[in-house]
Amino acid sequence: MENNDLHGKLLADFHQFEQTLNGGINMPFQILRREAAERFRALGFPTIRLEEWKYTNVMPLIKHDYTALPAAVPPVDAFPAPPDFIPENAVKIILINGRFSPDYSLPDAMPAGLGVSSFDTTDTETKNMIGKILDFSDNAFTALNTAFAYYGAVLKIADNANISQPITVLNYTDARDAAIFAQPRLFIYAGRNSQASIIEYSATIGEQPALVNSAIEIIAAENSSIRHYIIQDDTAAKITASHIRQAAASLYYAVTLTLGGHFVRNTAVAELAAPGAEAHFYGLALGSDKRLIDNHTMVDHAAPHCQSNEHYNHILDDRSTAVFNGKIYVRKGAQKTNAYQSNRTILMSGSATINSKPQLEIYADDVKCSHGATSGCLDETSLFYLRSRGISEEKAKALLLHAFAAEISNKIQIGNTRLKIDEIIAKRLHDEE
Amino acid sequence: MNTETNILDDVVGGEYKYGFVSNIEQEIAPKGLSEDIVRMISAKKEEPEWMLEWRLKAYRNWLAMKEPTWANVSFPKVDFNDISYYAAPKSKKAAPKSLDEIDPELRRTFDKLGISLIEQERISGVAIDAVLDSVSVATTFKDKLGALGIIFCSMSEAIREHSDIVRKYIGSVVPPSDNFYAALNSAVFSDGSFCFIPKGVRCPMELSTYFRINAKDTGQFERTLIIAEEGAYASYLEGCTAPKRDENQMHAAVVEIVAHKNAEIKYSTVQNWYPGDKEGKGGIYNFVTKRGICLGDNSKISWTQVETGSAITWKYPGVVLKGDNSVGEFYSVAVTNNFQQADTGTKMMHIGKNTRSRIVSKGISAGRSNNSYRGLVKVNKTAENARNFSQCDSLLIGSDCGAHTFPYIESGNKSAIVEHEATTSKIGEDILFYCNQRGISTEEAVALIVNGYCKEVMNQLPMEFAVEASRLLSVSLEGSVG
């Protein structure tokens, strides 16, 4: 299904990429890559005729003449320094143009219990886990990422390790000379009883079109807990996919803050595979101009006694559009499931649009599941309350919006990061002293 | 307490009551669908040329269309050439002038269904149009309604005698190209009810159509058109049953409603097509397109449905809120048991200013059934101050059933407020325990809770239907409790 020039070009790029992998051509991962490329060939880029892409048109995005194989990887100092919400003591994992750059990444003192490697240098046991849970059968972008996944980064958190320093994954893209289609890839394994926080941030330099198509796999072993903060404020278009497989009593806690970017599509899947697992998804999207922010989440309750909680807030101004598609899927036998989901949107402009589709698909009876979705403007009575106390209309609006955004940003559990992010949000919403 | 016990008696003994077959001499068209069949149906109905052309156009459209597959239901592919598209009781050629002339066997059929046509004539209250297989067999109270200028008759009669009105409105709400089943219906629809309430008239009685499938291997394709002119009001009831058969039968209806300025139409359905047996064998495939349009300002359309029958239900009664200040409502109780599958919900399209819509959907799944709510609330840029509230609750009885919610919310106006909430759970053990503790058995308690759970919707039904509907509820859940 060749629906576009880029489609053919990327497949040609893949062929070229394959040639460079001398010797490794029959390795298991290479076989997976080839399958993924084949899948991408068959799927083509998604069109709005597909239910999953109904409100998100990627066609304007893929008309550029991207390369998936940039000629040179610039040094890290070509890129701006990490923003100040990233703690100074953070372990920094740097990917440039989608490729893990170990030279820049490893800190002087690696915290005990954290192992960082790349797809080709990691141990065989880990190699065999990579690519197993992120399904690319019906997502062309995930297939594409898998096909080009080579210098992916691997994070291994040892059993019983409590990594107190946040691990920051920085994705840098260089679009100075040519249009680039980067495919960063990450694999995280959290050992039993381990704890870690991960901050993801990306930045792009240059004026050429950039499309960052990232994918993450996380395997959370028994009783582990992962806190995952995704801060999206990039000039590049972003398509992300993540899949978390959770063992018994594990916790996955994700906060996605989409503050910038003209096109963002996030697809997150949490698979609660054993009893006692718990997943939390929090999301905030600030839309302005003609931006499109699309969050697709799926919580797959595959085992009994699991819990999930999801809360997404949108503030949409100008001609921005947000899409929320949240699915709670309770499999047969997943009794005693508690699942909650909420999606709230404030439309600030007559030209902003929200397309929300909260879904429940439930095949077990002893469950408590609910979802709620609302869309509207700021509450008149709250505004009046503030106005009657002598607060200007502008300030009152800003206060209310800030409070609405803070419902999500307050979920960040790293103190300094939370404060700095809150400052950024306040600035964007004009709620400053 | 007594009522609950009665409900339980029904529960214990309550199988599908309307599964009998009447031995009425019938005229059935050969199986299969072609332009000739469409021509034949049109000729049988003595339709004007434009109607035939309209049907043929729909048929050609249909040929190019594909069956929708997005619904959360699964069933073997229907062979559309293995269905007979027309079946009619073979009675006297001339239509009966009065009810006394109706074939006694026919009359008995409707008596058995509890729709005594003669009785209805005597006790005023509900005017009925009775449709057996493909044709309307009787319409009561025509004269009385006629005096007020209300036209209430079968669709085929309307096409012949009120051609202008039909031509103006048919396909205006559900165009023949709307979807696969609507196109099929437009090509082969055989009968249905037509109702026209003139300006300023408040219809004094409930209008009702009773649909009955009787013949074997046939499909029923009825088409209903209701028009309320400025300031008019009508309340319309629809009921349906079918015999028990091992084969699946197809029912693809279209209902169109037009409400002009200040008009109000209330449409209530108790859908009780044969749901198939405990093993999931047989039952009706119910693929229905129902849509109303609030054309004028301040108009209102309200859908109330109690869905207990059918092996597969695919039905989304919607309202296009075009007039300013217009109101759309959707109240639904959908009960599925055994192997039934229901994918039902509504579409509310807000176009006019200050339009309001309210959706209350209660799903109950038991046995191995699957019950989905699928709905769309769309607020256009033009719909200033639009307001929607949706509530979709699902109740699960038993661990092998499924309950699903697929709401779509598309809002493009900042002054619009859209709210949606949905819950899914089983009947709380604490509530059952509370009842047990007070000497109410588990079965009785479930009946009590289910009735309470559906009350918000049941209250919307006209008296005549409310009793039947709440009884149906318990029957449908037979054997699923405890």
Return the percent helix, strand and coil in chain A, to nearest 5: 25, 40, 40
Taking the C-alpha atoms of residue A400 and residue A391, their distance in angstroms, rounded to an integer, is 12
- The CA distance from B234 to the nearest CA of chain A, in Å, is 33
* d(CA B382, nearest CA chain A) in Å: 9
Q: Nearest CA to B406 among A357, A370, A355? A: A357
Task: Report the C-alpha gap between B477 and B479 in whole angstroms.
Answer: 6
Cβ contacts from A onto B, under 8 A: 122
Contacts of A345 in chain B (CB under 8 A): 411
Residue A24 main-chain phi, psi, to 5 deg: -85, 10
Distance from the Cα of A304 to chain B's closest Cα (Å) equals: 13
Task: Report yes or no: A313 and A405 within 8 Å, Cβ to Cβ.
Answer: yes
User: Which residues on B lie below 8 Å from A342 (Cβ)?
Assistant: none
How crowded is residue A344: how many other Cβ atoms within 10 Å of its Cβ?
21
Give CA–CA dist A102/A87, Å, rounded: 20
Domain-wise residue ranges, chain A: 5-379, 380-433
Name the E strands within A276-405.
278-287, 292-301, 307-316, 321-330, 337-347, 353-362, 367-376
How close B71 comes to chain A (CA, Å)? 12
The answer to the question of residue B482 being in a domain is no
Q: Are B356 and B384 in contact (CB under 8 A)?
A: no
Flag whether residue A372 sits within 8 Å of chain B, measured between CB atoms.
Answer: yes
To probe the interface with A, which of B400, B424, B427 has the most A CB atoms within 10 Å?
B424
Kindly tell me if the per-residue pLDDT of B308 is higher than 90.
Answer: no
Helices assigned H by DSSP within A21-118? 28-43, 102-105
Q: Rounded to an integer, what distance in angstroms lies between the CA atom of residue B356 and that of residue B405?
A: 22
Q: Find where tokens 């819509």 sit.
A: B357
By the 8 A CB rule, do B400 and B372 touch? no
| Cross-chain CB nearest to B399 (options A355, A359, A365) | A365
User: How far apart are alpha carbons A214 and A172 in whole angstroms?
Assistant: 12
B260 secondary structure, DSSP code: -
- Top residue of A360, A377, A380, A382 to mutate, by most chain B CBs within 10 Å, is A360
d(CA B103, CA B242): 19
pLDDT digits (tens, 9 = 90+) for A187-200: 999 999 999 999 99
CB contact under 8 A, B407 and A373: yes
Please give the Cα distance from B342 to B315 (Å, whole number).
8
Residue B126 has pLDDT above 80, yes or no: no
Q: How confident is the model at residue B94 (pLDDT cuts 50, 70, 90)?
A: very low
| CB neighbour list of residue B332: distance below 8 Å, 6 or more residues apart | B303, B304, B305, B306, B307, B344, B345, B346, B360, B361, B362, B457
A136 DSSP 8-state letter: -
Q: Which residue of B has its CA nearest to A349?
A: B414
Residue B477 CA to residue B371 CA, distance in Å, equals 13
The kind and range of the H/E element at B50 are helix B49-63
Residue of A nearest to B378 (CA): A355
Rounded Cα–Cα distance for residues A29 and A120 (Å)? 10
Angstrom distance (rounded) from CA A225 to CA A277 = 10
CB–CB of A313/A404 below 8 Å?
A: yes
Partner residue opposite B422 with nearest CB, options A351, A365, A370: A370
Does any CB of chain B come closer than 8 Å to the CB of residue A235? no
Q: How far is CA B319 from CA A67, A107, B123, B289, in A?
A: 49, 62, 33, 12
Q: Are the C-beta atoms of residues A149 and A138 closer than 8 Å to each other?
A: no
Strand partners, A38: none
The answer to whether A373 contacts chain B (CB < 8 Å) is yes
Give the pLDDT confidence score for residue B12 in this predicted structure.
33
The minimum CA-CA distance between B188 and chain A, rounded to whole Å, is 30
Whether B348 is in a domain gets the answer yes
Q: Which helix (H) or strand (E) holds A408?
A: helix A393-409
**CB-side neighbour CA atoms (13 Å) of B460:** 26
Q: d(Cα A299, Cα A308) in Å, to the nearest integer?
A: 7
Whether residue B17 lies inside any domain: the answer is yes
CB atoms within 10 A of CB B23: 10
- Does the distance separating the beta carbons of B422 and A367 come in below 8 Å? no
Residue B481 lies in a domain: no
| CB-based contact A373 B411, cutoff 8 Å | no
Element of type H or E holding B422:
strand B417-426
A354 to chain B: closest CA residue: B411
Kindly report the average pLDDT of chain B as a whole number.
Answer: 83
Question: If residue B11 lies in a helix (H) or strand (E), which one and from where to where?
Answer: helix B2-13
Across B380-474, the runs of DSSP E, i.e. the strands, are 387-397, 402-411, 417-426
> How much is the pLDDT for B136?
64
Q: Residue B1 — very low, low, confident or very high, per pLDDT cuts 50/70/90?
A: very low
State the DSSP H helix or E strand holding residue B223, giving kind and residue range, or none if neither. Answer: strand B223-228
A223–chain B nearest CA distance, Å: 28
Q: Decide the pairing of beta strands A337-347 and A307-316.
A: parallel
- Chain A: give the shortest CA distance to residue B308, in Å: 20
Quick one: pLDDT at residue B257?
Answer: 96
Whether A50 and chain B come into contact, CB under 8 Å, resolves to no
- Which pLDDT tens digits describe chain A residue by residue (433 residues)? 445 788 988 998 888 888 877 656 567 778 888 999 999 999 999 999 998 999 999 999 988 888 888 777 888 889 999 999 999 889 999 999 988 888 777 666 788 999 999 888 888 889 889 989 999 999 999 999 999 887 889 999 999 999 999 999 999 999 998 899 999 999 999 999 999 999 999 999 999 999 999 999 999 999 999 999 999 999 999 999 999 999 999 999 999 999 999 999 999 999 999 999 999 999 999 999 999 999 999 999 999 999 999 999 999 999 999 999 999 999 999 999 999 999 999 999 989 999 999 999 999 989 999 999 999 999 899 999 999 999 999 999 999 999 999 999 999 999 999 999 999 999 999 877 6
Of A345, A350, A365, the CB nearest to B401: A365
Can you give the residue range of the structural domain that contains B316? Answer: 2-476
Chain A CA closest to residue B70: A51
Torsion angles phi and psi, residue B289, rounded to 5: -115, 115
pTM of the shown model = 0.88
- Chain A's closest residue to B410, CA to CA, is A355
Residues of chain A with C-beta less than 8 angstroms from the C-beta of B407: 357-359, 373
Report residue B44 as tokens: 């049988």
Q: Quick one: what percent of chain B has pLDDT higher than 70?
A: 81
**Cα gap B81→B356, rounded to integer Å:** 43
B414–A352 C-beta distance less than 8 A: yes
φ, ψ (nearest 5 deg) of residue A159: -55, 140
